[in-house]
């Protein structure tokens, strides 16, 4: 009798091992769809940001140009004779500007003694600002609106610039320094 029970137990054990272990199907469905969900969320957030930028530029009443990357720029009209040299990537320039949010909140004031001396295009986090600067000439005044992805992105600057912030650069003046950094 013991042998018979032992034989049945072994047969049942072998029969149960024949079945493949099944993992919950939802676990892999969630993992597989995560990149898709992230892409959809980024698209939605980008569309919302574009709408906010559009409202800002329309409300300003200024005729902004839009670059291929989505940077918006308005350059104050000026007599052509007064225009200086064009700003190019790699130029070292002194820039007087304020960084604002689209609601007008001033985050940084880099004017006068606080003017920023930068090598255009060297700062990777502000690629939209560098692009806008290359559309200027020395002496220009401009407003450059930069989508968050071309500014400080999803994290902000961890100081005054919040995460995913559209930035408005109010450029009061730009001039080449002639110096290399």
The CA-based dihedral angle spanning residues 57, 163, 159, 97, taken in that order and rounded to the nearest 10 degrees: -20
Instruction: Check residue 31 and give its pLDDT.
Output: 55
Select from 76, 74, 48 the least CA-distant residue to 63.
Answer: 74
pLDDT for residue 179: 57
Percent of the chain scored above 70 by pLDDT?
76
Structure confidence at residue 134 (pLDDT): 93
pLDDT of 66 reads: 95
> What would the 3-class secondary structure string for 41-64 be?
HHHHHHHHHHHHHHHHHHHHCCCC
At residue 143, the pLDDT reads 97
Cα 102 from Cα 16, distance rounded (Å): 65
pLDDT over 90 (residue 170): yes
Residue pLDDT, tens place only, 121-147:
887 767 899 999 999 999 899 999 999
The pTM score is: 0.76
**End-to-end C-alpha distance for the chain, whole angstroms:** 93
What pLDDT does 100 receive?
A: 97
The residue ranking higher by pLDDT, 71 or 176, is 71
Q: Where are the domains of the chain?
A: 48-176
pLDDT for position 37 = 85
Q: Look at residue 84 in the predicted model and tell me its pLDDT.
A: 76
CA distance 73 to 131: 10
CATH architecture of 48-176: Roll (3.10)
Listed in sequence order, the residues at least 6 apart from 78 whose beta carbon sits closer than 8 Å to its beta carbon are 139, 140, 141
Once rounded to an integer, what is the mean pLDDT over residues 170-180?
Answer: 82
Rounded mean pLDDT, 34-59: 90
More confident site: 18 or 105: 105
Over range 87-97, report the average pLDDT. Answer: 92
pLDDT given for residue 25 in this prediction: 54
pLDDT at 96: 96
């Amino acid at each position: 009798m013991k042998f018979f029970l032992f034989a049945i137990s072994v047969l049942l054990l072998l029969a149960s091992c024949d079945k493949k272990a099944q993992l919950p199907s939802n676990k892999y469905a969630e993992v597989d769809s995560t990149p898709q969900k992230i892409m959809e969320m980024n698209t939605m957030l980008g569309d919302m940001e574009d709408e906010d930028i559009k409202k800002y530029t329309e409300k300003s009443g200024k005729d902004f140009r839009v670059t291929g990357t989505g940077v918006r720029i308005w350059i104050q009209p000026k007599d052509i004779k007064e225009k200086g040299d064009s700003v190019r990537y790699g130029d070292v320039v002194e820039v007087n500007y304020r960084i604002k949010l689209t609601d007008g909140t001033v985050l940084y004031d880099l004017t006068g003694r606080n003017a920023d001396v930068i090598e255009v295009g060297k700062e990777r986090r502000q690629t939209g600002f560098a692009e806008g600067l290359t559309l200027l000439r020395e002496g220009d005044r401009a407003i450059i609106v930069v989508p968050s992805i071309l500014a400080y992105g999803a994290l902000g600057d961890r100081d005054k610039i919040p995460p995913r912030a559209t930035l408005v650069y109010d450029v009061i003046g730009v001039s080449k320094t002639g110096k290399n950094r």
